[in-house]
Amino acid sequence: MEDRDERTYRRLAAQTDADVLLFGHTHKPWHREYGGVLFVNVGSAGRPKDGDARAMYTVLRLEQDRPPKVEVRRVAYDSEETARGVLAVGLPLELAQAFRCGE
């Protein structure tokens, strides 16, 4: 999570020889550098949990002799149709609402 104690990320950075670590599962896109390592949470394509109902994806640009660049991109889609599909297969109303509002 993005609010985890900075010491956790510094400890992880010290244990790797990577320049960039990509991860997900929390659904919230963010990126920060700790101990010379860029940590990138790539988010979630259909449910970013950040209040923006559009689909999202993360682009990581790696260019020689330049620092990595992270860009979160958004794409509009019919989230209402997705919510209806969630309900149609018997999944909870709360999940359908999450797609509608980006949570």
In angstroms, the Cα distances linking 42 to 15, 49, 50, 72, 75 are 21, 12, 13, 8, 15
Q: Which domains does the chain have, with CATH numbers?
A: 6-101 (3.60.21.10)
Q: Region 79-93: what's the mean pLDDT?
A: 95
Let me know: does 13 contact 37? Beta carbons within 8 Å. yes
Q: Region 27-50: what's the mean pLDDT?
A: 88
Segment 43-84, tens digit of pLDDT: 888 787 888 889 889 999 999 999 999 999 999 999 999 999
Write out the two tokens for 102.
């980006």
Check residue 16 and give its pLDDT. 96
pTM: 0.80
- The residue count of the chain comes to 103
Write out the two tokens for 80.
């209402």
